[in-house]
Structure 1
Amino acid sequence: MNTRTETGFTPIDPALYAKAFQLLDPAPEPTAPADPAAPSPVSVILAAAPPVHRPGPVEKTLTDALAFLDTHGWAKLRLIHPEGARCSIGALRAAAGTRDAAYRDAGNLLLDEARRQHGNQWEAIPVWNDSHTGAQVRGVWEAAIQRAHHQNI
């Protein structure tokens, strides 16, 4: 049986490798012995990290629509203004992309909030949008987003 032991590799200098690893990962400086009563650094980091909020689909749709209004502008009396501004329902459609459950629920929540703030006579978002100022419309959007956030939807 012929077993070849010659690998053809260049021999290494162990001292060179030791120096390279020392440069990459220097030895930590000596510290005082840890207080057993003190929390570990990992538990301090975990305790200090706030919980991450992941918006639900309704909150995300409403937030994206309001961001669209902030970016492109708000319009009255038309769905889409020639310069790109939109009314509330136009912004909602742009943010949702499709008329799925999140779109419908976001629209219902927005209309419900409009009725809470401006009376129950509003039958649809476009009519309410066209009957109010930009500040009033924005206030309803912000309140609807807060409701969606608190309801975690």
Structure 2
Amino acid sequence: MNTRTDTDFTHIDPDLYAKAFELLDPAPEPATPAAPAVPVPVSLILAAPPVRLTGAVEKTLTNALAFLDTQGWAKGRLIHPEGARCSIGALRAAAGARNDAYRDAGNLLLDEARQQHGKGWEAIPSWNDSHTGAQVRSVWEAAIQRAHHMNI
């Protein structure tokens, strides 16, 4: 086996990289010794407030109320020809489908309606159609606050 030891490499100045960096950064800041890292007490880490995300139920209720504010509130029908909706119609529009958030938001809204207007209400549409816009809005706002406090 013949091994060639002559590499034909050109000699490179060992300070070449240092000179190149001096040209790129002519006035580097003098190196200062870093201060020793101070450990952060565990109590400070644990005391940081948790990041709160809006729950699906709160979001659905909030979006439904915003829909009622922009498109209008209706009585006696799911969707008015001009686009206004009753409470259940607004919930359906906000949820996009009859999913868990839709069901849980509806249950919370109906529970709040029962707390404010009596236990006799069986369904959201009958409650919606039997009250004024201000009464309905009051229930929506209270349901949103409950969802917020329950973090759902």
Q: TM-score, normalised by structure 2?
A: 0.70
Q: Equivalences for 1:2-81 in 2 at 5 Å?
A: 13-19=20-26, 50-81=49-80
Q: Displacement, 1:5? A: 5.2
What are the Cα deviations for residues 37-61 of structure 1, in whole angstroms up to 9, with x where unaligned? xxx8xxx9x8997543212222221
Quick one: structure 1 residues 18 and 79, their matched pair in 2 at CA, closer, same or farther if it must change by over 3 Å? same
Q: Displacement, 1:152? A: 2.0
Quick one: structure 1 residues 118 and 13, their matched pair in 2 at CA, closer, same or farther if it must change by over 3 Å? same
Alignment coverage as a number of residue pairs: 134
Q: Any idea what SS the aligned residue of 2:51 has?
A: coil
Q: TM-score, normalised by structure 1?
A: 0.70
Q: Could you tell me how far apart the structure 2 residues matched to 1:4 and 1:123 are? A: 93
Runs of 4+ with deviation above 4 angstroms: 1-6, 46-50
Query: 1:140 — aligned with what?
Result: 139
Quick one: structure 1 residues 4 and 89, their matched pair in 2 at CA, closer, same or farther if it must change by over 3 Å? farther
Query: 1:105 — aligned with what?
Result: 104
Q: Could you tell me how far apart the structure 1 residues matched to 2:64 and 2:51 are? A: 22
Q: Could you tell me how far apart the structure 1 residues matched to 2:7 and 2:125 are? A: 85
Q: Could you tell me how far apart the structure 1 residues matched to 2:58 and 2:97 are? A: 16
Q: Could you tell me how far apart the structure 1 residues matched to 2:67 and 2:112 are? A: 19
Quick one: structure 1 residues 3 and 117, their matched pair in 2 at CA, closer, same or farther if it must change by over 3 Å? farther
Q: Percent identity?
A: 70
RMSD across aligned C-alpha pairs, in angstroms?
3.3
Gaps of 5+ in 1: 28-32
Q: Any idea what SS the aligned residue of 1:81 has?
A: coil
Quick one: structure 1 residues 3 and 56, their matched pair in 2 at CA, closer, same or farther if it must change by over 3 Å? farther
Gaps of 5+ in 2: 11-16
Q: Could you tell me how far apart the structure 2 residues matched to 1:49 and 1:72 are? A: 40
Query: 1:87 — aligned with what?
Result: 86
Q: Does 1:120 align with 2:127?
A: no
